Every structure is written in C-alpha cells, then in structure tokens.
Amino acid sequence: MSTHAKVRKAIFPAAGFGTRFLPATKSIPKEMLALVDKPIIQYGVEEALAAGCDQIVIVTGRGKSAIEDHFDVSYELECTLEKRGKTDLLALSRQVSHMVRLSYVRQKEAMGLGHAVLMARDLVGDEPFAVILPDDVIDSETPCLKQMMDVFEKVQSSIVATQVIEGDAISAYGVLDGKPVPDNPRLFDVSGLVEKPKPAEAPSKNAIIGRYILTPKIFDLLEHTPLGAGGELQLTDGIKGLLETEKVYGYSFEGVRHDAGDKFGMLRATVEFALKREDLGPAFRDYLKTLKL
Ligand code: UTP
C-alpha cells in the first residue's frame, strides 16, 4: 500500500440469509427489500459513489440474482416505458443501471462477514478499501462513508464507524475499547475490541456498525484466522489482528443509522424516509395524524 493511498473500492457483503426478515427473505434477497421505493443496497451504493468510490464489489450467494438484475440494464422495461412516454420512470430505471461499474464475487457458503470480505481479495488487491453492510442505512447530511474518507485522508489507517448503544442491546455488536483522540471528538484510538460481549463485559458503549475502511493487510490476517463460533469467520477477528501492527480508529459518525435488516428498524426507517420525501411526505404526515395511537 502506498504512503498516501486513496480508497476507490467498496465491498458490499450480501450473501447472508437475512433470517431476521423471514419469510420475506426466503426468496427475496434482504438487500433488495425496498425502503419506500428503493432497495436498501442502492442506498449504500449511492453512498459509496458520493464518497468517491468508483468500483463496487458485491459479494453474493445463491438466490441473490435479483441484485445483479437490479443494477443491470432492463431493455424490455425501458423500451415499454419509452413507448408509453413515461420519461420520469425511464430516468429512474436508467439511473440505476448507468450508476457505476459493478463486479460480483460469489461466497459459496455463508461462512461469516470476514469470509465474505475475503472473497473480494483478488478484486481489491493491495489498496485500502471500504466495506458497507447494506442493511445499515445511514441518513446523514454528509454521507457516512465520505465522513470516514475525510478522516482516512489524514490518518491513512483503518477506521470503523461506531455508534453508542445503550443497555443490553450492546451484546449484538462488536464493541470497541480505546480512548478519544484529543483534536477530534468523533475519533477513538482503538486498543481492543470484543465481539458480542455480555452487557457487563462490554468495554464501552461504542458499537461497531456497518461501515469500515480497511487496509489490505486484513486479507492476510483473515486468511489465517481460524473459523470462530458457528463456523463463521468474523471480520472483527481480522481487525483485532490489525491492531497488533497498525493503528485502527473508531469514528462516531454524524447521522442516524437504521438497521433495515430488522423488522422494527425497517418500519422506523420507512416512516422517517417517507416523511422526508417531497412527493409523499405531506400526505403521509396527514395520514399518520389520523391514526388513533
Ligand atoms: P448480517 O448478520 O446482518 O446478515 O450480516 P444475515 O446473516 O444475512 O442476517 P440475519 O442476521 O440472518 O437476519 C451483515 C451483512 O453481511 C452479509 C449479509 O448479507 C449482510 O449484508 N454476510 C453475512 C455475508 O455476505 N456473508 C456471510 O457469511 C454473512
């Protein structure tokens, strides 16, 4: 990796089963569930592009072909829309397929997030890269990954996005140990991390969420990390390895994160995103006001 490297590539792990969203995810990839009218993975792809990435790598698995179709050209659809003079809808469809060059790599078995990231090694090579978990949809003024890129420009080290999680819910996350960096209140110097700790054993309330910038060293580490609980290769084990030789930072992003891979999180995101829409917001707000809650 060069001394002043730029992040150009973003990996989207999308090969999981999405069990929290069954039965919808039995045949529809979780990443294709619509938040208002856009599949959740498209929010992430747009964020990566807005942050300056120009190569997107999606890690898919069996039953995920709808993701590839979504980002592909749909001649029949576009032709029909053109004939019917539906120019707005035509533009929406074309915008997706013309968005960016995407590559796909297959994870044959869902062996964990670390394993999914490792599958993209050949496409990423020896340069720093971003990882976006598509079910974390982040609503922020400056796209979350762009905020992290700005920090990366200065520190040239791995950065994981974090959010304060209160109470027992912390046990569902990787949790950071570390101390704040004096001149940047959003930045932590990470000294350790624990995957899914019991609430009493969590080293802090700073949970890792689905945005990472990682140095390519992590690939070697993941390659040599034994499979952990449930036969899964954890990305956090690779990050722990990085900590032995490199700096890793936690970044408390500006914005609101929605866990759209969870039913309640998706409902909350739907209400908030719909209320913000110029075309839907006013009527939706009026409707919500009529509900006797
Ligand atoms: P999650 O744990 O949220 O996804 O992983 P999941 O396993 O699909 O969901 P649940 O918990 O059963 O509902 C975060 C991201 O990592 C991907 C998932 O597709 C998701 O986008 N992932 C996870 C992989 O690509 N491969 C894996 O082996 C595991």
Other Cβ atoms closer than 10 A to 200: 7
Spacing, Cα 221 to ligand 1 middle (Å):
20
The verdict on the CB of residue 20 being under 6 Å from ligand 1 is: yes
Whole-number Å distance between alpha carbons of 225 and 241? 9
* Average pLDDT of the segment spanning 64-93: 84
The verdict on the CB of residue 115 being under 6 Å from ligand 1 is: yes
pLDDT digits (tens, 9 = 90+) for 182-201: 989 999 999 999 999 999 99
The verdict on the CB of residue 134 being under 6 Å from ligand 1 is: yes
**Furthest-apart CA pair in the chain: how many Å?**
62
The verdict on the CB of residue 16 being under 6 Å from ligand 1 is: yes
Model confidence at 121, pLDDT cuts 50, 70, 90, reads very high
Q: In degrees rounded to 5, what are phi and psi of residue 212? A: -140, 145
The verdict on the CB of residue 105 being under 6 Å from ligand 1 is: no
* Average pLDDT of the segment spanning 45-57: 94
The verdict on the CB of residue 135 being under 6 Å from ligand 1 is: yes
CB 8 within 8 A of CB 54: yes
The pLDDT, as a whole number, for residue 1 is: 60
Instruction: Using alpha carbons, list the distances in angstroms from residue 6 to 147, 157, 184.
Output: 14, 11, 21
pLDDT digits (tens, 9 = 90+) for 249-274: 999 999 999 999 999 999 999 999 99
Q: Which atom of ligand 1 is nearest to the CA of 134?
A: 21
The pLDDT, as a whole number, for residue 82 is: 85
Domains of the chain as residue ranges with CATH: 9-261 (3.90.550.10), 262-293 (no CATH)
Between 200 and 230, the higher pLDDT residue: 200
pLDDT digits (tens, 9 = 90+) for 5-24: 889 999 999 999 999 999 99
The verdict on the CB of residue 40 being under 6 Å from ligand 1 is: no
* Average pLDDT of the segment spanning 162-173: 96
Res. 207: pLDDT tops 70: yes
The pLDDT, as a whole number, for residue 2 is: 59
- The closest alpha carbon to 59, from 121, 140, 127, 142, belongs to 121
Spacing, Cα 17 to ligand 1 middle (Å):
6
The pLDDT, as a whole number, for residue 230 is: 75
How many CA atoms lie less than 13 Å away from 1 in the CB half-sphere? 21
Q: Which residues contact 201 (CB under 8 A, 6 or more apart)?
A: 194
- Whole-structure pTM value: 0.94
Between 89 and 30, the higher pLDDT residue: 30
**Mean pLDDT, the chain, as a whole number?**
93
* Average pLDDT of the segment spanning 51-74: 90
Whole-number Å distance between alpha carbons of 212 and 190? 14
Q: In degrees rounded to 5, what are phi and psi of residue 230? A: 70, 20
Model confidence at 206, pLDDT cuts 50, 70, 90, reads very high
Res. 97: pLDDT tops 90: no
By CB atoms closer than 10 A (0-12, 13-18, 19+), residue 226 is: exposed
